[in-house]
Amino acid sequence: MRRASPEVATADQLVSGWVTGPVTVEVPATSANLGPGYDCLGLALELVDTLEAEVRPAGLAIEVAGEGAEEVPRDERHLVVRSMQVAFSALDGPPPGLWLRCTNRIPHSRGMGSSSAAIVGGLVLARALVADGAARLDDAALLALANRIEGHPDNVAPALLGGFVVSGQAGEVVWAQRVDLDPRVRAVVAVPPYAVATAVARGLLPEVVPHADAAANAGRAALLVAALAGEPSLLLRATEDFLHQQQRTPAMPETLAVVGALRGAGVPAVVSGAGPTVLAFVVDQDGVPDAVAAHLPTGWRVLPQAVGGPGARVLA
């Protein structure tokens, strides 16, 4: 598709089968791993990106505001557009033209699922622009497409389904199961002023880990599911990790120092995703944001978050 100004299309200018008028989708930030649940546990957060798109007679026009607006491309390389094209290919092929507006609130490259939000949001948006897209491409198929683009399901699953999700992959089969979340559980997210690329953070992990560490992590991950489902008093022990957090210290020393300080104060804090954001679970939130802020270096933001809300949804 060539670039074009965002002129409005009339119904008779468009190929039959496309939805006329703009479609709006909200998609949440997510936190993956949650300590011991490496590449298998994920949680939808309160923060959302808003995507709006419309099929046009020709061309491609992209508007971006908010987080990362000065950094993302305005052509076919844009991750939302690339994801939309994957969904279009699974349906009837690309539309004649496209207008897209992204209002980004999720910080980029901070471990809060900004790329997963773009992928899932793009897929859901494309499905909604096809008149019978929802009937022909269900959430299971959409999850498989999202996993194919992202490479692992721990962020894309809660971005699509919402809530607290256990997910995994067996060969080409991707699965995801929502787990009930104790309504008392909330979170405080501490976001640093700098980014860490996921590829850099993953590159620090060893290829082989001791059997004892793997067993300890398996036990903590199982305990974490129980803690989040109804026993939040167990969260400090349940969020212990042996496989990936300390190993990433060279890429984010401040982050691991903050995690250590909070945990030393009895707060169940973890690295959010690949970092460098820190997520602290809370039950009684009174005074907790201030207590978290007291352990943060200069320039970090504190964002109290409801957790386990809806996944990607079409608003209009």
Binding-site annotation, residues for ATP: 107-117
Instruction: Output the six-digit token pair for 179.
Output: 């787990």
**DSSP letter string, 98-144:** EEEEEEE-SPTTSSS-HHHHHHHHHHHHHHHHBTTHHHHS-HHHHHH
Answer whether 43's CB lies under 8 Å from 308's CB.
Answer: yes
Helix axes 79-90, 139-150, angle to 10 degrees: 130
Q: Cα torsion for 253, 254, 259, 263, to the nearest 10°? A: 110
Answer whether 117's CB lies under 8 Å from 79's CB.
Answer: no
Instruction: Output the six-digit token pair for 283.
Output: 């039950």
Residue with tokens 């995690």: 259
Q: Which of 160, 24, 47, 194 is nearest to 106 (CA)?
A: 47
Binding-site residue positions: 107-117
Residues in contact with 183: Cβ distance below 8 Å, sequence separation at least 6, in sequence order: none
